[in-house]
Structure 1
Amino acid sequence: MKHPTETDALGEFLISARSLAEYRAIFELTDTDLRGRRVLDCPGGAASFAAEAAALGARVTAADPIYARPAAELRELARSETERGSAYAGAHQGRYRWDFYDDPDHLQAVRLSAATRFGTDLTAHPDRYVAAQLPALPFHDNSFDLTLSSHLLFTYADRLDADFHLAALLEFSRVTHGETRLYPLVDHTGRHQDDLVAHLRNELHDKGIPTTLRPTHYEFHHGATTMLVLQPNQN
């Protein structure tokens, strides 16, 4: 596995372990958004969101190709990837705002706690974790009331092209009866993807899928205070 250096290269796709508190901040989630709702988290990574939101009454499905791996391997991967991501953030501290996490050590502590809860829930409730890879998901139309997607689309715009982004967004629209919320709209170096966002919004509009840009109070990359929201398809 590649490790971060003092360059801008993050290396491989990072498997992140985020908590419910982070999801609430990122996606402006309320208890009403979650309680009794069918929620898709894609990609789910090593987040504890599925476990924590389920405890509030949400019916969460996390989808990610990594779930094809054995549980023991995933638990170890969640920890090593958390350490890799924290090391990268620590090596590029000026790229981020630290209001939410205080410092890289606190960031790592939050993520390691989430990774541990993920590992426990993966063993206790494996049905919540579906091995699936965008842009083709193994779910029926309108399977979910809400879809959440963070830190894949736009984050890796250096290796996922516009066609991939559009196909993924159309797939989210297909499987989601209500809203799809996506964050951030910057790449992993903090570069804003305004042109890509505008292109995708135009394409979705032409296909009958309304979109909005909605503010979020979460800001880790400087200026990343907006999420893209897809409304139900009007066709």
Structure 2
Amino acid sequence: MPSDPRSTTGTTAPPNVIGDILVSSRSMTEYSAMFALSPADLRRQILDCPGGTASFTAEVCAAGGDVTACDPVYGQYTADALAALGQRGTERGNRYCRTHSDEYMWTFFTDPEHHSSSRSASGHRFADHHRAHPERYIAGALPRLPFTDERFDLVLSSHFLFSYADRLDLSFHHRAVCELMRVAATEVRIFPLVGMGSNRYPNLEVLRDRLADDGITTEIRSVDYEFQIGGNEMLVCSRDSALSDEQR
């Protein structure tokens, strides 16, 4: 997303051997597990940023919900090209899973074949929905999004922040979370707190302190999902000062 995001501020994260940032295709089922989404959550006005080629928007909208996805790739590729980009991401991510199987728990996905088929199916569903409803897919890149203040009830951000801490520095993370909060009326949920290699984001507490100075309350919540070992927590950000110190 940023033009030159190499880390120069804060603790340096271990190198991320996955290579370029993946464009991933995750399903509504996976999103619901990652973000502990309740039926009430799915009735809220939601932003998925960055949305990649996930089928979350397609599936929630098909069920009568209201989701907008935002990603810089939407302004760069046609629906067919996005489908191909997502499939390449699925194949590259699956190769990584197979060669680094010790970094994963095969509970949500039963095995690498299940992982591959699930992600491929999500990518196809994304492409079909993008062709039919391009207005649901808005081109935009953190840390500056093309939305008005408090535009969405709930903002979800998956596998970008914290996942690429070797190339996205602390300053970028701070600006990005503040921007996600700007467009959120209630809360932002960010998942996971680890990068490739299952390394926890090294500047998390520094970031939380900076966000607190901005009036943003943060809470780490465990979720009933763990694909990457150690990747079973999300960061929940809100303007609700009622959360106790123990929750933060």
The equivalent of 2:109 in structure 1 is: 101
Unmatched tracts of structure 1, length 5 or more: 1-6
The equivalent of 2:82 in structure 1 is: 74
Which residue of 125, 148, 155 corresponds with 1:117?
Answer: 125
Corresponding position: 1:126 with 2:126: no
Amino acid at match of 1:91: T
Considering only aligned residues, what root-mean-square deviation do their CA atoms show, in Å?
A: 1.3
Amino acid at match of 1:43: P
Amino acid at match of 2:211: L
The equivalent of 2:61 in structure 1 is: 54
Q: TM-score, normalised by structure 2?
A: 0.88
Q: TM-score, normalised by structure 1?
A: 0.93
The equivalent of 2:8 in structure 1 is: none
SS in 1 for 2:18: coil
More helix by share: 1
Q: Distance in 2 between matches of 1:232 and 1:66?
A: 30
Q: Distance in 2 between matches of 1:97 and 1:148?
A: 23
Which residue of 4, 26, 29 corresponds with 1:21?
Answer: 29
Contact preservation (8 Å) 2:189, 2:236: yes
Q: Distance in 2 between matches of 1:42 and 1:181?
A: 10
Which residue of 85, 97, 104 corresponds with 2:93?
Answer: 85
How big is the shift at 1:8? 5.8
Select the structure with the greater relative contact order (CA < 8 A; seq sep ≥ 6): 2
How many positions carry a matched residue from both structures?
226
The equivalent of 1:212 in structure 2 is: 219
How big is the shift at 1:72? 1.7
How big is the shift at 1:187? 1.1
Amino acid at match of 1:44: G
Residues 190-205 of structure 1 correspond to what in structure 2 (within 5 A)?
A: 190-193=198-201, 195-205=202-212
Which residue of 161, 172, 175 corresponds with 2:169?
Answer: 161
The equivalent of 1:182 in structure 2 is: 190
Contact preservation (8 Å) 2:16, 2:166: no
1:22-70 Cα offsets, whole Å, 9 max, x none, are: 00100000111011x2100000000000000112322111000010112
Contact preservation (8 Å) 1:34, 1:57: no
Contact preservation (8 Å) 2:152, 2:184: yes
Unmatched tracts of structure 2, length 5 or more: 1-14, 242-248
Contact preservation (8 Å) 2:16, 2:164: no
